[in-house]
Amino acid sequence: MLLVIDRIDDGICVCEALPDGRQLKFAAAALPAGAKEGSVLGYDGGILSLNAEETAKRTAYIKKLMDDVLEN
């Protein structure tokens, strides 16, 4: 399962599951090194892992959307 970190507040990480959008919460201490808001995580067997490739794809896609909006 893929998750996107929505926010981290008061030691709690709120993630959105892809593609259904349901929310999952984890202790921020359980996050892998380098994870931050907007990062894509893999979640398998109760283990979170940073998915750098998917994070880069989503970041580029969102940047393109923002550039398109700002150009018009």
Q: How do residues 39-58 score in pLDDT, each as one tens digit?
A: 999 999 899 999 999 999 99
pLDDT score recorded for residue 72: 67
Domain count, the chain: 1
Q: Which domain holds residue 6?
A: 2-71
CA distances from residue 11 to 20, 49, 72 in whole angstroms, order as listed? 25, 18, 39
Residue 38: CATH number of its domain: 2.40.50
- pLDDT class of 71 with cuts at 50, 70, 90: confident
| pLDDT over 90, % of the chain | 94
| 3-state percent helix, strand, coil for the chain, nearest multiple of 5 | 30, 40, 30
Model-level pTM?
Answer: 0.87
Give me the sheet containing 47-50, strands edge to edge: 23-27, 12-18, 2-9, 40-44, 47-50
pLDDT band at 65 (very low <50, low <70, confident <90, very high): very high
Whether the Cβ atoms of residue 55 and residue 63 lie closer than 8 Å to each other: no
